[in-house]
Amino acid sequence: MREPNSGTEEIIIAPSILSADFSDLAGAAREIDASGARWLHFDVMDGRFVPNLTFGPKAAADLRPHSKAVFDVHLMTDDPDSLIPGFTGAGADYITFHPEAVIHSHRTLSSIQALGRKGGISIVPSTPVSSIEELLPFADLVLVMTVNPGFGGQEIIPRCLEKVQTLAGIRTERGYGYLISVDGGINEKTAPAAREAGADVLVAGSAFFGAEDKAAMVRKLGGGPR
Ligand code: DX5
Ligand code: ZN
């Protein structure tokens, strides 16, 4: 079981480089560091689990020297197990996968942690919290998707925030240790509801990279002390 955790003292903003200019990912990583955001969200898509393709471990390894941020890797892939060693070698701090894609999710989660990384689980909008109940005692992070994964710039599905509330309640009740992250459609308008529901980490792609003043956007999203 993880160490008990009642949420972070700070709201963490995790800009997603999915919304950055792919011809200058190093520049995007530096912008994230300069903005005061402490995490960098790295969306890995395989063209099968989601209808889009992005990048693999080499891109993360190449980016690593350009950023001090926590590398928060989100695997939206059919076969996460095959990518875990590569992302561990690339310097990922958190590796999150979708239990919807694998049969032996507990084994996948354990294999991330056995490599000395934090293990996360993520659920798409149609997946209920009950389906990951048996994994919750073991998870370092639970990422609630608030859009159907595959693309940045979509609108939040507000109902998904009820799952954040449920996860925060279960954590308190049972003394579990996971962080709660929300991903999809987070902007200045939607961030307050995500924070109120109990999220610790807010992933933001288009809101962050679309902002002229990125440090101001981190503050507008509520980054910093609660
Ligand atoms: C969606 C990705 C998200 C995405 C969020 O499949 O998992 O991380 O980048 O982008 P926005 O913030 O634009 O919804
Ligand atoms: Zn993501």
What's residue 1's pLDDT? 63
Instruction: Tell me what percent of the residues of the chain surpass a pLDDT of 90.
Output: 95
* 89-108 pLDDT tens trace: 999 999 999 999 999 999 99
What pLDDT band is residue 5 in, cutting at 50, 70 and 90?
confident
Atom of ligand 1 lying closest to residue 149 CA: 6
Are the C-beta atoms of 124 and 149 separated by less than 8 Å? yes
**pLDDT for res 7:** 79
Residue 152, ligand 1, Cβ within 6 A: yes
Using alpha carbons only, what angle is made at residue 138 by residues 43 and 57, rounded to the nearest 5 degrees?
A: 25
Residue 98 CB less than 6 A away from ligand 1? no
Is the pLDDT reported for residue 4 higher than 80?
no
Reply yes or no on whether the pLDDT at 6 is more than 90: no
pTM above 0.85, yes or no: yes
SS3 of residue 143 by DSSP: strand
Q: How high is the pLDDT of residue 9? A: 86
Q: Which of 124, 127, 91, 122 is nearest to 109 (CA)?
A: 122
Distance 163 CA to ligand 2 centre (A): 17
Ligand 1 atom closest to residue 19's alpha carbon, by position in its atom list: 9
Assess whether the C-beta atom of 150 lies below 6 angstroms from ligand 1: yes
pLDDT in tens, 115-163: 999 999 999 999 999 999 999 999 999 999 999 999 999 999 999 999 9
Active site residue 140: no
Q: Which ligand is nearest to the CA of 149?
A: 1
- Domains and their CATH numbers in the chain: 10-221 (3.20.20.70)
Tens digit of each residue's pLDDT (9 = 90 or more) over 43-72: 999 999 999 999 999 999 999 999 999 999
Summarised one tens digit per residue, pLDDT across range 150-202 is 999 999 999 999 999 999 999 999 999 999 999 999 999 999 999 999 999 99
Whether the per-residue pLDDT at 220 is higher than 80: the answer is yes
pLDDT tens profile 7-49: 788 999 999 999 999 999 999 999 999 999 999 999 999 999 9
Catalytic site residue from 43, 72, 140, 200: 43
Q: Are 2 and 195 in contact (CB under 8 A)?
A: no
19 lines ligand 1 (CB under 6 A): yes
Query: Among residues 36, 43, 93, which one has the least CA distance to residue 64?
Result: 93
Query: Residue 16: nearest ligand to its CA?
Result: 1
Q: What is the pLDDT of residue 8?
A: 81
Residue nearest to atom 4 of ligand 1 (CA): 152
In this prediction, residue 136 carries a pLDDT of 98
223 CB under 6 A from ligand 1? no
Residue keyed to tokens 């891109």: 59
Choice among 46, 140, 183, 200 that is catalytic = 183
In the chain, the percentage of residues whose pLDDT exceeds 70 is: 98
Let me know if 43 is a catalytic residue: yes
